[in-house]
Amino acid sequence: DAGVIQSPRHEVTEMGQEVTLRCKPISGHDYLFWYRQTMMRGLELLIYFNNNVPIDDSGMPEDRFSAKMPNASFSTLKIQPSEPRDSAVYFCASSRLGGVGEAFFGQGTRLTVV
């Protein structure tokens, strides 16, 4: 398996624009997590899905953030409109056993909002 695949690897956008981050989890994994990493706040869980259903979105910072998982092999994290404080590295991870299993992380998307 190629592992968790995220795209794009880097994204630079202007404030106010819509940004969509994409993730393909490992086949057979039924949990998918979105994390955000910043120097100030470290790694924060934004939302996670089980069998394509959002389970906990309490980490989503604002209504500007939304996440979907239309099928078992694809998820998106959308920010609209984007703001400079959204600049961070966004990681997607998947696992087979949720909290007791190993979470496999993608390479991340480095988002810069100018």
Give me 65's structure tokens.
């953030």
Contact 103, 1 (CB under 8 A): no
- Examine residue 43 and tell whether it contacts another protein (CB under 8 A): yes
Out of 17, 38, 50, 51, name the contact with another protein by CB under 8 A. 50
Contact partners, residue 52, CB within 8 Å, separation at least 6 = 69, 70, 71, 72
Q: Which of 12, 15, 55, 114 binds another protein (CB under 8 A)?
A: 55
Residue 114: CB atoms within 10 Å: 10
- Segment contacting another protein (CB under 8 A): 12-20, 41-49, 63-71, 77-85? 41-49
Asked if 86 contacts 17 with a C-beta cutoff of 8 angstroms, the reply is no
Please report whether residue 4 would count as binding another protein according to CB under 8 A: yes
Cβ nearer to another protein, comparing 30 with 76: 30
Does position 106 bind another protein by CB under 8 A?
Answer: yes
- Give which of 11, 31, 26 is closest to 79, Cα–Cα: 11
Residues that bind another protein (CB under 8 A): 4, 31, 33, 42-43, 45, 48, 50, 55-56, 91, 93, 95, 98-100, 102-108
